[in-house]
Amino acid sequence: MYKVYGITNCDTVKKAITWLKDHEVEFEFHDYKKLGISQQKVEEWLSQQPFEKLLNRAGTTWKKLPDEVKNSVVDGETAIPVMLEKTSAIKRPIIESDKIVALGFNAAEYENIFKS
């Protein structure tokens, strides 16, 4: 079974969840806005993907951060505190089984990833 990490009010997460349901892909949802995310999980993700892919720099949360905070994020280690404190700055959704299988939503990529 897959685990989908994201926040419920995100349009991209909504599209991904709709796609998964429409294609009968079983998953569990983890809302990291409500449930938080552990440092261990963030570190696990960073061992699989570069911080640049896991940090959502295009989003409102990132844009509202003070420049000194944004400028301090130069690698995975310095991204962790921001991702833990401002979970909305994490790319979404992140879908994993035993490892990350998808970041964000792309229907064509999901077709390849979740073939039955």
Active site residue 92: no
Secondary structure letter of residue 57 according to DSSP? T
Taking the C-alpha atoms of residue 84 and residue 73, their distance in angstroms, rounded to an integer, is: 13
Given the structure tokens 């570190």, which residue do they identify?
Answer: 43
- Sequence-separated (6 or more) residues with CB below 8 Å from residue 3: 27, 28, 29, 30, 95, 96, 97
Which of 10, 16, 37, 46 is labelled catalytic? 10
Identify the bridge partners of residue 31 per DSSP, sorted by sequence position.
6
Taking the C-alpha atoms of residue 47 and residue 51, their distance in angstroms, rounded to an integer, is: 9
Q: Which active-site residues does the annotation give?
A: 10
